[in-house]
Amino acid sequence: MPLGERTGDRSDSRYCGVETEFSDDMPRLLSFNINGGFDFVVADLMDPGYRPSLRSDDDIKSGALPVAGSDLILSPSEWSSRVVGKISSWIDLDTDDAVLRRDSETTLKQQITWASHLSLQACLLPAPRSMSCVNYARCVNQILQGINSMQLWLRIPLKKPDDDDAMDNLLVEVGEQVDSWEIWNLFRLLCEHHSQLSIALDILSSLPSINSLGRWFGEPVRAAIINADSFLTNARGFPCLSKRHQKLVTAFFKHSVQIVISGRPTHELPIGSTESGNQRHPLRLYLDYIGFLYQRLDPLPEQERYELGYRDFLQSPLQPLMDNLEAQTYETFERDTVKYIQYKRAICKVLMDRIPDEKVSVETTVLMVVGAGRGPLIRASLQAAEETGRKLDIYAVEKNPNAVVTLHSLLKLEGWENAVTIVSSDMRCWDAPVKADILVSELLGSFGDNELSPECLDGAQRFLKPDGVSIPSSYTSFLQPITASKLYNDVKLHKDLVHFETAYVVKLHNVARLAPCQPVFTFTHPDYSAQKTKQRYSKLEFDIPSDTGSALVHGFAGYFDATLYKDVHLSIEPTMATPNMFSWFPIFFPLKEPVCVRPGSPLEVHIWRCCGSAKVWYEWCVTSPYSSPIHNSDGRSYWGKSNAQRKITTCHTELGKVLGLPRYVLISR
């Protein structure tokens, strides 16, 4: 039975497994463990004493392998949902012993073939024995080319060489300790980042640093194996985990990592316990504790439940100059009340600053909403006027003719006739009859300027008074290196250059943020500088904390922070993000070839915002620790058109209708 239920939670982490010894009676083994409370078993599929070179002549003639029963002993659904195959731990494909090496290769392929025949969802591969795992990786990569949907979990002990205690014997390099992440990285590089190769982390009694642990959340970790001897004993005599282990397990729950209990029990029911232990599974105490940790998780907030379908899902940002939004998209971002409360606060402050109390009855402020959509900024402006007692004359400028229809209907429905003038025009082409005191827009993208807000507001600036105020008044983009194995593999599936040179909007979840964000580009409005170029270039140097160890950079997460007016901000930059605001996901700039950064080696990144006569685009590259190609040169793969309209190409689904967020076009596959 699942560990527990949280509203909206359908992740794999609800299910807990148990690692078992070999049994030639699989139905009995499965029944015992399922009745004991576990959801699946990690079980040997073949007698671990089997060696091809030691087979008798009779065995060879029969052709039968010493497997744990035929495929008929369990139903297909039981094999698929209840059993994870475990490959024999004795195999060593990089040994100098030629006979053992041949036996290992033969056995590995036989067991994976049998597991595939049983339609298992996953198989657990033994941990590499050292950094010299090239032949092991070669054989696994061969197998990955031929299997269908089955995942291969590579067992990796969670160790780092700066740990105080000795390296676990699962992973030892002769004469030195090895960072187990280095083993994983070498193995997956040799296997070409294959999406069906993932990780089962062995959680040992001691843990590396927080930064070192953080690397793994961007990697494809599917299971965390906790041995019974890693548990402590609480005051009541029951098993428990250290505070650091608890935090790690809780984080795994949130990243859909399944827990597997392993080993022999080191705890018994305390004397005087009212629970009956006659039929209890010997590892049930550990399962109960893991269930307790799961049930302590806070329920998922409503907004996170809405966003579950978009976690680590690549989307392409809309370009407002190119695309007219549709009703369902408007409706979604209009629900973001936090954003419009911030806009209302900013407008209130401007009105109070510009109109003193003694002139409230005689002065009227001209406010222009450029990109009015279906009117949320109009509504926020009128509310600000009412709260401050100031008079407003509003011009609502909107280029989308469909949204203009809605605005006209709102004039009557909301009683705006005397306060609002609707203008059906592109803000860059309209000749305003008066100058504005306040210019309000919401053209920001996930990277601040990626929806061409600078170009749009420059075009609208001509009808702002010399002392007029723009809301927003400025915005800055930020960049951050991340490990994002899933995102990288999703881009790689397209097998072309274009997708590696495209920036995506993503609800980041299974990622490791490797260094603090750094500012990239800043734009200020109004801009009265003599040379108002919108081109930008920035060189950034990131220092990944030394206790992190080596890490693989798959790309960069982008964010923005916007100053609406004075101290009123909108932000998605993680350290200063506006609470409960959901209108924007971060942006992701992928690298065609991930960059491995080692301790003490800075990561140097270059990014350009380029402007041509008809388009705007980004280019980016890495020059340290080694150089990458410049991505998206001359905007060959990804750009925004700055002076043209085109037909909208939004891909709609029922999921998008319910969960969709503004400004995003789903990538159809």
DSSP 332: H
How far apart (Å, rounded) are the C-alpha atoms in residues 235 and 237?
6
Q: What is the helix (H) or strand (E) element at residue 505, kind and residue range?
A: strand 504-505
How far apart (Å, rounded) are the C-alpha atoms in residues 550 and 546?
9
Q: Which residues belong to the annotated binding site?
A: 330, 339-340, 398, 426-427
Residue 561 C-beta-side C-alpha neighbours within 13 Å:
14
How far apart (Å, rounded) are the C-alpha atoms in residues 238 and 537?
59
DSSP 69: S
Whether cis (ω within 30° of 0) applies to the bond prior to 27 is no
Q: What is the SS3 string spanning 53-106?
A: HHCCHHHHHHCCCCECCCHHHCCHHHHHHHEEEECCCCCCCCCCCHHHHHHHHH
How far apart (Å, rounded) are the C-alpha atoms in residues 361 and 357?
9
Q: What is the helix (H) or strand (E) element at residue 486, kind and residue range?
A: helix 485-492
User: Catalytic residue among 105, 182, 442, 455, which?
Assistant: 442
- Closest to 619 measured CA to CA, from 611, 362, 610: 610
Amino acid at 378: I
CB atoms within 10 A of CB 495: 7
DSSP 592: E
User: Per the structure block, which two tokens stand in for 605?
Assistant: 């990144």
- Closest to 144 measured CA to CA, from 123, 166, 129, 165: 123
Please, which residues bridge with residue 201 across strands?
Answer: 156, 224
Q: What is the helix (H) or strand (E) element at residue 180, kind and residue range?
A: helix 180-190
To the query of whether residue 593 is one of the catalytic residues in this protein, the response is no
Phi, psi of 651 (to 5 degrees): -100, 120
Is 370:395 a contact under the CB 8 Å cutoff? no
DSSP codes, 99-149: HHHHHHHHHHHHHHHHHHHTT-SEEEEPPPSSS--HHHHHHHHHHHTT-SS
Is 118:155 a contact under the CB 8 Å cutoff? no
- Closest to 555 measured CA to CA, from 608, 500, 610: 500
Q: What is the helix (H) or strand (E) element at residue 579, kind and residue range?
A: none
To the query of whether residue 451 is one of the catalytic residues in this protein, the response is yes
User: Catalytic residue among 105, 219, 451, 573, which?
Assistant: 451
How many residues does this entry show for the chain? 669
DSSP 36: T
Q: What is the helix (H) or strand (E) element at residue 471, kind and residue range?
A: strand 464-471
Q: How far apart are the first and last CA of the chain?
A: 35
Q: Which residues belong to the annotated binding site for S-adenosyl-L-methionine?
A: 330, 339-340, 398, 426-427
How far apart (Å, rounded) are the C-alpha atoms in residues 187 and 134?
7
CB atoms within 10 A of CB 663: 26
How far apart (Å, rounded) are the C-alpha atoms in residues 165 and 172?
13
Q: What is the SS3 string spanning 596-625?
A: EECCCCCEEEEEEEEECCCEEEEEEEEEEC
Active site residues: 442, 451
